[in-house]
Structure 1
Amino acid sequence: MRPAALIIPLLLLAIGASTTVQGIDRLRVAYQWKQLDFDWPPDNKDDVRRAFPSYNPADNLPLGLEVGGDRLFVTVPRWRQGVAASLNYIRLNDTRESPPLIPYPSWEAHKYRDDGQPPEIVSPFRMRADRCDRLWVLDTGLSDILGSPEQQSAPSLLVYDLRQDRLLRRYAIPEEQRTPDSLFANLVVEDHSKDCADAHAYLADLGGPGLVVYSWRRDSSWLIKHHYFHPDPMAGEFNVGGVVFHWSDGILGMALQPHDDGYSTLYFHPLTSTAEFSVGTRLLRDPKRADTSEGFHEFRLLGSRGPNGQSSVSFLDPASGVLVYALTNLNAIACWRAGSRYTLQRQGRVYMDNVTMVFPNDIKIDRRGTIYVLSDRLPAFMYNRLDPEDYNYRILTGNLAEAVNGTVCEPPRTTNKDNGALDTRINRLPSSRRNSATAITSCGHSTILLLGAAMALAALTLVDW
């Protein structure tokens, strides 16, 4: 199908969708910051600040989040030299709009030593908390990422005891399982067994690209390679809030759907791609079989999210089977019900906003069904500049069941198959154009259909906004 033939019906559906879809955009902003600040200890505040002489608030941008107990953890990778602590938390009962970040597990864990050795934690991107009260932190080991990158320590998996806030284990990823281009930017943890020692972590290397599987019991890892981990050269252009850039990033988004046999289905996608894939973890846990022709063909292509469907992160709620994912170009969060066909008609819109959801960069859902989303305007931070007088970083939250109500991601008995499909709004008009779209909608759906040919040129421009 030619691109124009696909885009025009998407535009028509987008214009008419606003009067028929209910129960969307039910997330709220819980926290927001113009610039990040830290909880400097009052008794020795000056001493701690002296330990971070390069600290610059403008250099600190949050990227990953996770919920553990009554704490909301936030990573701040060392993008530039002015980052203070790269792993932090805030209390979930903190009602302040812009609470300062509390370094985890302590300030000491983020200090560079007098002999120049790196701190305990260098520069993590994302993390996962498991049911055994462990926090798995994937540390890239990179500093000054956007300046003069330096690999200060090997990419490592750090696992903390959340009950005692102490480091349980550090595992450095072996050299033979990474490349000079490696960037370990995301992980998922499989902890469904009753025995906490049976846990496995799956570490996404978007630069390799590859997938490193780590076994807690064996305290060892192995590398899985597949061409589905690679970027799609046709999906390399991004446009986020008018910032146009080109990325060629491999596997990043991952979500686990647990099964009764102790294994899971891993849903995954490269960042530079519009496709979704899956593979069983029974295969991934068996490196010998995964490296065979038979194992190679157990990887599955599920389908495509369509134009502008590049996605960074995803998370699957095991209680409902709903997979929630970020749409980086569209400033949106969408959903899909695992087990259904992976088509545009089966993708639901959860939240979309050109102010509060600019570049959603992490998603988590806790055991109570609460969803958390972090948006951070990363492209503007990297290629332009952020306004220090504007709110740049946000954490949004809401109830997952309410968030997907009225979409195709609802449980089957209550789903209206024509309600909330993502293909009716995957190229929805930006906020600056919504008033005109609403006016057209008021003319009736028959008028919209007659306007199809006249809107074709406009449709061609919408895929790039």
Structure 2
Amino acid sequence: MGLTFLALHWFCLVLGICSTNVSFAQKQPQLHVKYGWGQLEFDWQSQSQRQEYISNRKYIPGISAPIDVDVYYSPDGNQYNKIFVTIPRFQEGVPIGLGTVTDNKSDGNPIITPYPNWSWHLNSEQCNLNRIVSVYRIKIDECGRLWVLDNGRLVDTIICPPQILVFDLKTNKLLSSYEIPRSQYEKRSIFVTPIVDVRNQCRDTFVYAADCQANALVVYDYNNGNSWRVTDKTFYPYPDYGTYNILGHSFDLMDGILGMDLEPLNRGDRKLFYQAMSSPTLNWVYTSDLKNQSRFASDSGSSPQIFHTYRARRDTQSAAMAIDKDGISYSGLMSEVQLICWNTQAPEYGPKFWEVVANNKETLQFISGIKVINNYKKNYQELWAVTSRFQRVADGSIDVNDVNFRILVEKVDDITFSTRCKKRGPSGPPGGGYGLFRP
């Protein structure tokens, strides 16, 4: 025991290993696990319904995989708070596309309740007015509205027109629905990410919807009820980045534009940062250019000059991203199984400018959804993320006796403390729209 201590003490003094590791650990608070699942379980209307779904292969236990998370902190009290998860129906046996996590459990797995209720998820092929078919990602804005990007795709086929739904989270009532015009998507289209741009205390709203297979954006003007398509080469995947390798498991996925978020408002404009998932690059475009419908009226790809790409590259793929009130972005590195931060005000992108803020091979696998959430009661921001053994979902090797899916959370200030990402000087005001409006 004494010799071991002396040897360790020598390494500390001569090599500085101990002090370096402690400092590194202090910079890396591990996001704590809020929820974990071996397999997803749902709040069935009855046991007979569950059995019927299993018999008809509408529910195959162990198949459903959560992709995104968002959180509503109600100003009316904790009993109205909601934690949303999306469950895209890209394979057979997924019964719902969107739900909220409950405190009830089945075999240790938190039970998910369909949102807003079961009726929205039944008989999807009928394309009822009140329907949710398949959802990859959602967004809750600072006006207390939930934006749902329903791609209308069941397994490999678009069975209903893709749509953008808006719910009032105080009442859970539908505020509006907008079907994306047929001319603005293709048979291969998969709409995966909605980014909501709110101005003027909720009176002016645009949505930027990413189509990761047709490599396009649809810009939706909520106030005027119309939309237009935008394309550019920076939306495309890179063939060399189409194979994913995560902890010894590999699969192929050629996804284009997917991860996106907005910087805080700056002199009346904002940059939309974005990345194709199967690519090594980060890009940006001014939202004022995207909102100029006339620019794209005759040609969706008319303006390559407005899109910008950083020179530095990643060594691996990255999916979702989120940006906080200080302009610090957060995203995952797939092969490295890490979470990084990067200040959007930095002159360049890449390892010299970002910093690893969480490194856990068990809990950080495949970060598919990530959000910066404003906790109004505590007056700080939180980082929420969905991680999964998606590589095992992809190759069919998932073991439901293990924890395969997680929702993680950590206070933003604790994540970026003492990192190069941390903004110097006063921070911006809290708020999902970065201080524009508090519900």
Q: TM-score range with shorter-chain normalisation?
A: 0.7 to 0.9
> Out of 243, 251, 254, which is 1:245 matched to?
251
Q: Deviations over 1:185-239 (max 9, x none)?
A: 1111001321x24110000011111111001111110011111111123322320
- Residue of structure 2 equivalent to 1:412: 424
Work out whether residues 59 and 79 of structure 1, in 8 Å CA contact, stay in contact via their aligned partners in 2: no
Work out whether residues 283 and 295 of structure 1, in 8 Å CA contact, stay in contact via their aligned partners in 2: no
1:225 and 2:225 are equivalent in the alignment: no
- Residue of structure 1 equivalent to 2:436: none
- In the alignment, the residues of structure 2 paired with residue 169 and residue 292 of structure 1 have an alpha-carbon distance, to the nearest angstrom, of 26
Structure 1 residue 378: deviation in Å? 1.5
Once the two structures are overlaid, the 10-residue window that deviates more, 263-272 or 117-126, is 117-126
- In the alignment, the residues of structure 1 paired with residue 50 and residue 301 of structure 2 have an alpha-carbon distance, to the nearest angstrom, of 55
Structure 1 residue 407: deviation in Å? 1.9
Letter in 2 for 1:297: Q
- In the alignment, the residues of structure 1 paired with residue 62 and residue 23 of structure 2 have an alpha-carbon distance, to the nearest angstrom, of 42
Work out whether residues 230 and 300 of structure 2, in 8 Å CA contact, stay in contact via their aligned partners in 1: no
Structure 1 residue 123: deviation in Å? 0.7
- Residue of structure 1 equivalent to 2:437: none
Name the one with the larger strand percent.
2
Letter in 2 for 1:353: N
> Out of 361, 365, 368, which is 2:368 matched to?
361
Q: Deviations over 1:2-57 (max 9, x none)?
A: xxxxxxxxxxxx9x97465232143111110001111224xx55357546743222
Q: Deviations over 1:132-175 (max 9, x none)?
A: 211111111111x2xxx222111111111111112222211112
- In the alignment, the residues of structure 2 paired with residue 381 and residue 88 of structure 1 have an alpha-carbon distance, to the nearest angstrom, of 20
- In the alignment, the residues of structure 2 paired with residue 155 and residue 346 of structure 1 have an alpha-carbon distance, to the nearest angstrom, of 38
1:109 and 2:120 are equivalent in the alignment: yes
Structure 1 residue 347: deviation in Å? 0.5
RMSD between aligned residues: 2.7
Letter in 2 for 1:406: S
Cα separation, partners in 2 of 1:151 and 1:293, compared to 1, 3 Å? closer
- Residue of structure 2 equivalent to 1:432: none
> Out of 97, 101, 120, which is 1:90 matched to?
101
1:390 and 2:402 are equivalent in the alignment: yes
TM-score using structure 2 length: 0.82
- In the alignment, the residues of structure 2 paired with residue 329 and residue 133 of structure 1 have an alpha-carbon distance, to the nearest angstrom, of 36
Once the two structures are overlaid, the 10-residue window that deviates more, 162-171 or 216-225, is 162-171
- Residue of structure 2 equivalent to 1:371: 383
Cα separation, partners in 2 of 1:266 and 1:51, compared to 1, 3 Å? same
Letter in 2 for 1:302: Y
- Residue of structure 2 equivalent to 1:6: none
- Residue of structure 2 equivalent to 1:68: 72
- Residue of structure 1 equivalent to 2:37: 33
Structure 1 residue 289: deviation in Å? 3.0
Structure 1 residue 95: deviation in Å? 10
- Residue of structure 1 equivalent to 2:308: 300
- Residue of structure 1 equivalent to 2:263: 257
- In the alignment, the residues of structure 2 paired with residue 138 and residue 48 of structure 1 have an alpha-carbon distance, to the nearest angstrom, of 26
Letter in 2 for 1:33: W
> Out of 158, 163, 173, which is 2:165 matched to?
158
Q: Deviations over 1:243-286 (max 9, x none)?
A: 22233221111010132554321001101111111110000000
- Residue of structure 1 equivalent to 2:279: 273
Cα separation, partners in 2 of 1:305 and 1:72, compared to 1, 3 Å? farther
What is the aligned-residue identity percentage? 29
- In the alignment, the residues of structure 2 paired with residue 382 and residue 66 of structure 1 have an alpha-carbon distance, to the nearest angstrom, of 24
Higher relative CO (Cα under 8 Å, sequence separation at least 6) belongs to: 1
Structure 1 residue 73: deviation in Å? 0.2
Work out whether residues 51 and 111 of structure 1, in 8 Å CA contact, stay in contact via their aligned partners in 2: no
Work out whether residues 271 and 311 of structure 1, in 8 Å CA contact, stay in contact via their aligned partners in 2: yes
How many residues are treated as equivalent by the alignment?
390
Ranges in structure 1 where 5+ consecutive residues have no aligned partner: 1-13, 415-465
- Residue of structure 1 equivalent to 2:61: 57
- In the alignment, the residues of structure 2 paired with residue 95 and residue 33 of structure 1 have an alpha-carbon distance, to the nearest angstrom, of 10
> Out of 83, 88, 91, which is 1:80 matched to?
91
Structure 1 residue 105: deviation in Å? 0.3
Cα separation, partners in 2 of 1:50 and 1:294, compared to 1, 3 Å? closer
Letter in 1 for 2:391: P
- In the alignment, the residues of structure 1 paired with residue 388 and residue 360 of structure 2 have an alpha-carbon distance, to the nearest angstrom, of 13
- In the alignment, the residues of structure 1 paired with residue 44 and residue 382 of structure 2 have an alpha-carbon distance, to the nearest angstrom, of 30
Ranges in structure 2 where 5+ consecutive residues have no aligned partner: 1-16, 74-80, 376-380, 427-439
- In the alignment, the residues of structure 1 paired with residue 105 and residue 410 of structure 2 have an alpha-carbon distance, to the nearest angstrom, of 16
